[in-house]
Amino acid sequence: MNTRSLRFQLVAWYAALLTGCFVLIGAASYAVLQSSLVGALRETQLRRARQIGQLLLDQTGSSGEARVGEEIQARYAPDINGRFVRITRGDGSLLYVSPAPNDQTFVPGEVPPPLWPSRAETASQVPLSGGRQMLLTVRELQTPGGARYLIETGAPMDDVQAHLRQWLGFLLVVLPIMAALALGGGSFLVKRALLPVDKIAASAQRISSQNLSERLPVARTGDELERLSIALNHMVQRLDEAFQYSRRFMADASHELRTPLTVLRGELESVIQEPALAPEWRERLGSALEEVERLAGIVEGLFAISRLDAGEAAAEWVKLDLARLAAATADQMSLLAEDKNIQVTCAAAEPVWVEGDQARLKQVVVNLLDNAIKYTLQGGAVALSVSALDSKAVLEVADNGIGIPAEALPRVFDRFFRVDKARSRELGGAGLGLSIVKSICTAHHGRIEATSPPGQGSRFRVELPLATPLTNSHQQHNHEH
Amino acid sequence: MRILLIEDEKKVADFVARGLRAERFAVDVAAEGPAALQMLAACAYDLIILDLMLPGLSGSEILKRIRRDRNEVPILILTARDAMAEKVAHFEAGADDYLTKPFAFAELLVRVKALLRRGPVNRASVLRVGDLELDRLTQQVRRAGKRIDLTAKEYGLLEYLVANPGRVFSRTMIIEHVWDQSFEGLTNIVDVYVRHLRAKVDDPFPTKLIHTVRGVGYSVDGGSEP
């Protein structure tokens, strides 16, 4: 999982925040419950202490201390209710202590001896055996006669703790469920919110310099993503305009250069044909003419690229056998290879039908073969092959020549790019051959890639879509075999 | 032979007219459509060289009007555009040939002569330079009576040079004529083929017929001339 993705981060934050809130609410509810339960118990105990205090006052006023115990037993029955009552006189002697409760929840003797409190009424929790607690309230009483008593009432906190444990158990069960719901819901919401982003990304991925007229789908949702896709579309449009402008400029410029080049070429040629011309002048003018022709070649190349890139070539398309075209072209160029003692092998036996502009596709073969022969040393080898592979026509030209340095590989199809300027110029290249090849491949809905493992020469691989099979010419061809 | 050159670029018109006049053609130049149509009405021409990019009345329009008037004069089109679709359209509109700028003048001349069916674009079936003989029908080449075997491309190259003896052909012209547009820019292929051609045609003989004009290209010249 990509932890840096917006989706992951949003869901993580969402779930963490929600879970945090649940934990806080749980803790707060636990605390409130605890304080209210304890508070209620304390209030009950204090009320009891006050009632017993009143009873003590009444008793000491009428019949003395002797019947206090009986009265308490009769009225409150602490042993039956599981309560603790203890009355201590001012001198520390014990007036009354409730008997052990029927349910044996505590032993009265366990309760620590009383301490004279600083205030009239206090409540505290005292430990019992087994880690249990008792809520003990203490009330100080002074009779009109001046005698002082300490009335203690207590109740074990087992019930309170049982309630709290139950609540805690409930929270522990519910909390993970809530967290899981938060995670699931968050992830669903985020996914739904980010789905258009995926769509936009996928569409944006499809748009290249070849189809800049396409636009991203705009969902009329009125949200930020609609704004984003509209903004992206505006950007694509500006890109489109910039590309069109540069294409138009290249076409216009190469077009405009033709007339001056025609004049230059024509004048130079007519001077060179002059019989009275001194040989050294002929040579110098010839050199100028050569450059004019090179210039004309560059203009021609740029014009071809701009036309191909603008997608104007489709009108001249026919169905043709790429294998035969490649073999015939290799044959036409065989002397070039022989001249350098280079072995050209051609593996193109089976017909491979593609659709395209015959002259342009031939130019692909010519340029690739010429390139391979140029950059292969004397006695080297060049292998040309055409085959059909997975609904693609594959044309490969491999050599065992000097190869292409790895850092130059990504740029070999760039206009005017030359790996070794001095060397290429000497060989007469303008640096347009491979970019023309690439433009032709792209215009034919194909692609080209160059690889060059160190020390093993270079390999150019062209992939073109196969022509739809089962046409008449195709069938006829199959019958011939 | 009278040629009408319809071309608005003065300098292009100048050197084309000069070159054609040097070949003893009578050349009239019109810089724009209406003037050209007037000249066409006034005088009978044997050939029209027509630039497509004209101010006002376009070359295509002139082409259509000439053909609409049932004038069958051969028309050679000059253009700065070379889209194949356009070429086809103009051939359909009645153009006889088509040359893309920047063209080689010699190429223009070859085509002009071919259209006029005359003179040194020897329609003769046998071409001769010195003791070299080229039979266009059988594509057989003999020198001093000895038969020389050439490949198809070597023959095409030799025929192109021999048909215009003494004329210098640049590598680009040779490529344009003997190979096809796919080989544009591949000028070293010409040198390689010429070298092979020489090995067969010149090397066994004392007189050399194929000459390298340094910096320009090649020409074939009879042994009698220097």
- Please, which residues have CB within 8 angstroms of residue B18's CB and are 6 or more apart in sequence? A270
Long-range contact pairs involving B202-206 (C-beta distance under 8 Å, separation at least 24): B205/B131, B205/B143, B205/B144
Flag whether residue B169 sits within 8 Å of chain A, measured between CB atoms.
Answer: no
Contact at CB, B172 and A296, closer than 8 angstroms: yes
- Please, which residues have CB within 8 angstroms of residue A314's CB and are 6 or more apart in sequence? A443
Pseudo-torsion of CA B55, B57, B58, B62, nearest 10°?
-140
Query: Given the structure tokens 């065992």, which residue do they identify?
Result: A400
Q: Which amino acid is at B134?
A: L
Contact at CB, B216 and A359, closer than 8 angstroms: no
pLDDT in tens, B110-154: 788 878 865 444 556 788 888 999 998 888 999 998 999 998 889
**DSSP state for residue A386 in the 8-state scheme:** E
Measured between CB atoms, which of B12, B167, B215 is closest to A259? B12
Q: d(Cα B198, Cα A62) in Å, to the nearest integer?
A: 156
| B216 contacts in chain A (CB < 8 Å) | 272, 282, 285-286, 289-290
For A71, list phi and psi in degrees, rounded to 5: -60, -45
> How far out from the chain centre does Cα A226 lie?
20
Contact at CB, A363 and B172, closer than 8 angstroms: no
Q: Are B208 and B202 in contact, with CB atoms under 8 Å apart? A: yes
Residues A377-407 as b/e (b if ≥16 CB within 10 A, e otherwise) read eeebbbbbbbbbeeebbbbbbbbbbbbbeee
pLDDT in tens, B57-77: 888 889 888 888 878 888 999
The pLDDT > 70 percentage for chain B reads 91
B202: three-class secondary structure by DSSP: coil
Sheet architecture: strand order including A381-389: A343-347, A381-389, A392-399, A459-465, A447-451
Measured between CB atoms, which of B80, B172, B182 is closest to A366? B182
pLDDT in tens, A82-141: 889 998 888 888 888 888 888 888 888 888 888 777 777 888 888 887 788 888 898 888
The two tokens of residue A196 are 């258009």
Q: d(Cα B68, Cα A209) in Å, to the nearest integer?
A: 44
Pseudo-torsion of CA A203, A205, A206, A208, nearest 10°?
130
| B12 contacts in chain A (CB < 8 Å) | 259, 262-263, 266
Residue A248: Cβ within 10 Å count: 12
In terms of Cα–Cα distance, which of A432, A290, A465, A449 is closest to A363? A432
Flag whether residue B126 sits within 8 Å of chain A, measured between CB atoms.
Answer: no
Q: d(Cα B49, Cα B36) in Å, to the nearest integer?
A: 11
B37: three-class secondary structure by DSSP: helix
- Size of the A and B interface in Cβ pairs below 8 Å: 129
Q: Catalogue the E-assigned strands of A162-258.
A: none
Flag whether residue B185 sits within 8 Å of chain A, measured between CB atoms.
Answer: yes
Element (H, E) at A57: helix A6-62
Q: What is the pLDDT along chain A (481 residues), one digit of tens a residue?
A: 677 888 888 888 888 898 899 999 999 999 999 999 999 999 999 998 899 888 888 887 777 777 888 888 888 888 888 889 998 888 888 888 888 888 888 888 888 888 777 777 888 888 887 788 888 898 888 888 788 888 889 888 888 889 999 999 999 999 889 889 988 988 898 888 888 888 888 888 888 777 777 888 887 778 888 888 888 889 989 988 988 888 888 888 888 888 899 899 888 888 887 888 888 888 888 888 888 888 888 888 888 888 787 776 566 688 999 999 999 999 888 888 888 899 999 998 889 999 988 888 998 999 999 989 988 888 899 999 999 988 899 999 999 988 888 888 888 898 888 777 666 655 556 678 899 899 899 888 899 999 998 888 899 999 999 987 654 444 444 444 3
Lowest mean pLDDT among A71-75, A393-397, B8-12, B198-202: A71-75
> How far out from the chain centre does Cα A48 lie?
68
Per-residue confidence (pLDDT) for residue A315, from 0 to 100: 61
Contact at CB, B83 and A307, closer than 8 angstroms: yes
| A270 contacts in chain B (CB < 8 Å) | 15, 18-19, 22, 105
Contact at CB, A315 and B84, closer than 8 angstroms: yes
Flag whether residue B188 sits within 8 Å of chain A, measured between CB atoms.
Answer: yes
B150: three-class secondary structure by DSSP: coil
The answer to whether the Cα torsion of A348, A353, A354, A357 is positive or negative is positive
In terms of Cα–Cα distance, which of B192, B172, B188 is closest to B180? B172
- Please, which residues have CB within 8 angstroms of residue A57's CB and are 6 or more apart in sequence? A141, A143, A144
Q: What DSSP letter does each residue of A418-458 carry, written as one string?
A: -SSHHHHHHTT--S-HHHHHHHHHHHTT-EEEEE--TTS--
Per-residue confidence (pLDDT) for residue A273, from 0 to 100: 79
User: What's the complex ipTM?
Assistant: 0.74
The two tokens of residue A28 are 């707060």
Contact at CB, B170 and A293, closer than 8 angstroms: yes
Q: Are A88 and A152 in contact, with CB atoms under 8 Å apart? A: yes
Q: d(Cα B141, Cα B127) in Å, to the nearest integer?
A: 10
The pLDDT > 90 percentage for chain B reads 27
Is residue B21 scored above 60 in pLDDT? yes
Is residue B78 scored above 60 in pLDDT? yes
HEC sequence for A269-320 = HHHHCCCCCCHHHHHHHHHHHHHHHHHHHHHHHHHHHHHHHCCCCHHHCEEE
| A329 contacts in chain B (CB < 8 Å) | 182
pLDDT in tens, A193-223: 888 888 888 888 888 777 777 888 887 778 8
